């Protein structure tokens, strides 16, 4: 059952296509929030193997009835017993905050009351916006509203 205006094609639960999400307005400002990282440590796990020997019992039977004989002998079978054990620590880089590129628009959708609206965008859209003068027309598909 349609929930939008008649003939709009909007259906309950439908995800709008990227063309429906395109916004346009006048470029106001741009903001790049850099990625922040920190160094962390975690245990360094290594595989440690030891060679072990297992005693294996063999039997062989010959004859039948009262003359049946069973011969038994043993051999040593060696195998590797491996376990992961901690050997010191290792350092790694952990991302605390991901990088974000933001653009602020005025007159969003031609509405003069919708000013100073921030959108998070992809880096190439941000680069394009920085090359435009303030007040220039700009339209793009944002990743999300706000920044």
Residues 60-74 have a mean pLDDT of 91
Min mean pLDDT across 5-9, 88-92, 133-137 is at 5-9
Architecture label for domain 18-34+99-145: Beta Barrel (2.40)
Residue 121 has pLDDT above 90, yes or no: yes
Q: Can you give the residue ranges of every domain in the chain? A: 18-34+99-145, 41-91
Give the containing element (helix H, strand E) for 118. Answer: strand 117-121
pLDDT at 122 over 80: yes
Contacts of 118 (CB under 8 A, 6+ apart): 31, 102, 103, 104, 145, 146, 147
């Amino acid at each position: 059952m349609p929930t939008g205006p008649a003939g709009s094609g909007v259906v309950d639960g439908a995800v709008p296509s990227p063309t429906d999400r395109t916004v346009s307005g006048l470029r106001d400002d741009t903001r790049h929030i850099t990625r922040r990282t920190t160094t962390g440590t975690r245990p360094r796990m290594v595989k440690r193997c030891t060679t072990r020997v297992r005693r294996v019992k063999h039997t062989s039977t010959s004859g039948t009835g009262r003359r049946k004989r069973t011969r038994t002998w043993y051999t040593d079978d060696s195998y590797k017993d491996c376990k992961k054990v901690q050997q010191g620590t290792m350092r790694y880089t952990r991302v605390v905050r991901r990088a974000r590129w933001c653009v602020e628009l005025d007159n969003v959708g031609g509405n003069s009351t919708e000013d100073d609206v921030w959108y998070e965008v992809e880096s190439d859209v941000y680069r394009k916006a920085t090359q435009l003068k303030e007040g220039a027309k700009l339209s793009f598909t944002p990743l999300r509203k706000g920044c």
